[in-house]
Structure 1
Amino acid sequence: MQRAHPDDWAAVLDVVVLLRELASALPARRQRAALSAGADTVGAEVVSPGALAEELVAALLDEPEQNVIGALHWALVRLGDEAVTPLIEALDDPDAQVRGRVLAALADLPGPRSTAAVGALLGTPDSDPEPEARLRARAAIVVARRDPAEPLRGRTREALVKAIRTGANDVEAAETLAVLDPDGDAAAAILAACVPAAAPEERRRIAQALGEIPGAEARRVLGLLVEDSDRATSLTARLLLSRRTTPDG
């Protein structure tokens, strides 16, 4: 806490109560404490926003109740840039579920430091356990919506394609890929390159993703998938191709 004057002792007591309530055994009390912390009503005279953010992030990492997690998320977003540093540090947590909570908060805190931290989650091995794969997919979706520059843009595109292939948030990944590449050709070319080595269920997802992507290249690849040996892939490609109204659409 910052050095307090005698007139500030009531504020000091408020902060002490807040910290105690954040550690309460009762979820309702923890939720009320988080909401109070984000409402700019507790201890502003005696505790810095950065120190408060650290306490809230620590609570977020250990919180088992979804309602309380939501309140902590809201409070951290209200703190703005002050919350970014402790959230970035929390991305080192070994638990993918906990890092997912941190990512959700960073998603609502735009800025170069936040984007770089989320982008660092895109570096991933070829095979991930499902929680890790979903975390990487979610990170790619967050970064893509911030219209990143190269080389992060290219890494984001590759991560979205991987999400489509593996089925980790594949529908949202396909929609986001279409937004990331408005003309569609770069994304469609990457998906096309995946087809020869893809299993039937992957080719179905690729066909579905191509249905979200505009451009002549996506149309060409869908035309090839109409002849796919997997009946479901072929029918999906045929249907999506029939919905295109222009040669470049």
Structure 2
Amino acid sequence: MLIGEVSARTGISTRMLRHYDTIGLVRPGGRTGGGYRQYVPSDLRRLFHVEGLRSLGLSLPEVATVLADLEFDPAPMVERLVERTRERLAREEELLQLLTRVRSSGPAAWSEALSTVALLRGLEADDPSARQRLVLALTGETGTGVGPLTEAALREPEPNVAGALYWSLARQGDDAVDELAQALTSTDADRRRRAVAALAKIASPRALTALAAAAGHPDPFVDARATLARGALGDVDAVPALVALVADGRDDVEAADVLGRLAVQPGPAAGVVRAIGAAAADAPAEARRRLTGALAEIPGPEADDALTVLAADPARAVALTATALLRARPASGPDGLPTVSAARQARSSARARARGPGPAGPLRG
């Protein structure tokens, strides 16, 4: 499966897939005769694991550590089983509440009530693979038990099952948005973060607006994803917070992408460049390198000028990154912005150079 097809099926951007490849987190198991990345089934399973772990708030280095350590002491696992038993008992109480709601809703026919009960029981199965099969069988159907699916998504501890639930909810449109938005205020950190993951997967204007409203949340994970949602909605006031994400190295790849999309007009582009320049002025070298890399996504002469200054940075990595990006800058159109074709051609190569050399061999895909 080529990178474009993987992106379309999983919702993970091609840029993020290439980043996973560059840092060695998920490297395609094959190459086509023309040198393009080719993903095999084991790569897709690893992608599921990566996205599931990230939805729980783990950083990319933490995800890599977890996936690399397949040996474990039994004591922590026993503790996890105890905790899961407690969670299962809590889910039984929640199931009772859901059944009570089914009764109070007055189903029009026994078939409706039985279908709802069957769905609830299936979502409570002890075997994660059984839960996943049930959800995948529902994916693509609209109007199918949105309430139970939403609650299941908010409490599902298994990454693969959670990912299937998020995608199933996304196929339901905005039906789950209100309940997910309410979960952002939960005192349970895992519940909040699963709500974030589901809203981000739905990614409709209404879902992104609900997520953006959580900006400033005391949970750094929720706050960062809310900032990304603000930017995705075109809120230029989110630029300083997006730049801070890049500088801090939290969701920096996504934040750079959003900054690039915001900077499609001369006004916002200049503001983004000024914000990056101000952040870089007193930032440590590694943060300056990330901020320099973010300029790859920004069109216009202001970004060229900023890169020219950074090419003389005393930190060698920063200077080399800025120099590489300057050489890769696309040709400009009459309005001073890069032509669409030139921008598309240059963007991936520029960002790849900014992040350093990848594995040997062709990097097309």
TM range (shorter): 0.7 to 0.9
> Does 1 or 2 have the higher relative contact order (CA < 8 Å, sep 6+)?
2
Amino acid at match of 1:171: V
Residue 59 of structure 1: which of 136, 139, 152 is its match?
Answer: 152
Instruction: Note closer, same or farther for the CA distance 1:246–1:20 as it changes in structure 2 (3 Å cut).
Output: closer
Cα deviation 1:16-67 (Å, max 9, x = unaligned) = 12211211211122223334555549xx7xxxx6xx3332222112211122
The equivalent of 1:103 in structure 2 is 196
Match of 1:92, SS state, is: coil
The equivalent of 1:166 in structure 2 is 248
Gaps of 5+ in 1: 126-131
Shift of residue 106 of structure 1? 1.7
Off by >6 Å, runs of 4+ in structure 1: none
Instruction: Note closer, same or farther for the CA distance 1:160–1:22 as it changes in structure 2 (3 Å cut).
Output: same
Identity across matched positions, percent: 37
Shift of residue 4 of structure 1? 3.7
Number of matched pairs: 227
Whether 1:10 and 2:95 are equivalent positions in the alignment is no
In structure 2, C-alpha distance between the alignment counterparts of 1:70 and 1:246, rounded to whole Å: 41
The equivalent of 2:208 in structure 1 is 115
Cα deviation 1:119-160 (Å, max 9, x = unaligned) = 1232257xxxxxx545434333334333x3xxxx13322221
Residue 257 of structure 2: which of 170, 175, 183 is its match?
Answer: 175
In structure 2, C-alpha distance between the alignment counterparts of 1:40 and 1:60, rounded to whole Å: 16
Whether 1:80 and 2:165 are equivalent positions in the alignment is no
Instruction: Note closer, same or farther for the CA distance 1:207–1:95 as it changes in structure 2 (3 Å cut).
Output: farther
Residue 226 of structure 2: which of 115, 124, 139 is its match?
Answer: 139
Instruction: Note closer, same or farther for the CA distance 1:55–1:109 as it changes in structure 2 (3 Å cut).
Output: same
In structure 2, C-alpha distance between the alignment counterparts of 1:223 and 1:124, rounded to whole Å: 37
In structure 1, C-alpha distance between the alignment counterparts of 2:253 and 2:321, rounded to whole Å: 14
Amino acid at match of 1:221: A
Counterpart contact for 2:215–2:222, Cα < 8 Å: no
Shift of residue 109 of structure 1? 4.4
Instruction: Note closer, same or farther for the CA distance 1:233–1:105 as it changes in structure 2 (3 Å cut).
Output: same
In structure 2, C-alpha distance between the alignment counterparts of 1:220 and 1:95, rounded to whole Å: 46
Match of 1:244, SS state, is: coil
The equivalent of 2:273 in structure 1 is 188
Cα deviation 1:143-183 (Å, max 9, x = unaligned) = 4333x3xxxx1332222111111111212321221111113
Instruction: Note closer, same or farther for the CA distance 1:14–1:244 as it changes in structure 2 (3 Å cut).
Output: closer
Counterpart contact for 2:215–2:223, Cα < 8 Å: yes
Counterpart contact for 1:57–1:87, Cα < 8 Å: yes
The equivalent of 1:25 in structure 2 is 126
Residue 157 of structure 1: which of 220, 223, 239 is its match?
Answer: 239
CA-atom RMSD, angstroms? 2.6
Whether 1:242 and 2:323 are equivalent positions in the alignment is no
Match of 1:211, SS state, is: helix
Shift of residue 14 of structure 1? 2.4
Gaps of 5+ in 2: 1-101, 339-365
Shift of residue 101 of structure 1? 2.7
Match of 1:122, SS state, is: coil
Counterpart contact for 2:209–2:229, Cα < 8 Å: no
TM-score by structure 1 length? 0.79
Counterpart contact for 1:84–1:109, Cα < 8 Å: no
In structure 2, C-alpha distance between the alignment counterparts of 1:246 and 1:21, rounded to whole Å: 56
TM-score by structure 2 length? 0.56
In structure 2, C-alpha distance between the alignment counterparts of 1:155 and 1:124, rounded to whole Å: 17
Instruction: Note closer, same or farther for the CA distance 1:237–1:4 as it changes in structure 2 (3 Å cut).
Output: closer
Moved more, 90-99 or 211-220: 90-99
Instruction: Note closer, same or farther for the CA distance 1:200–1:222 as it changes in structure 2 (3 Å cut).
Output: same
Whether 1:34 and 2:121 are equivalent positions in the alignment is no
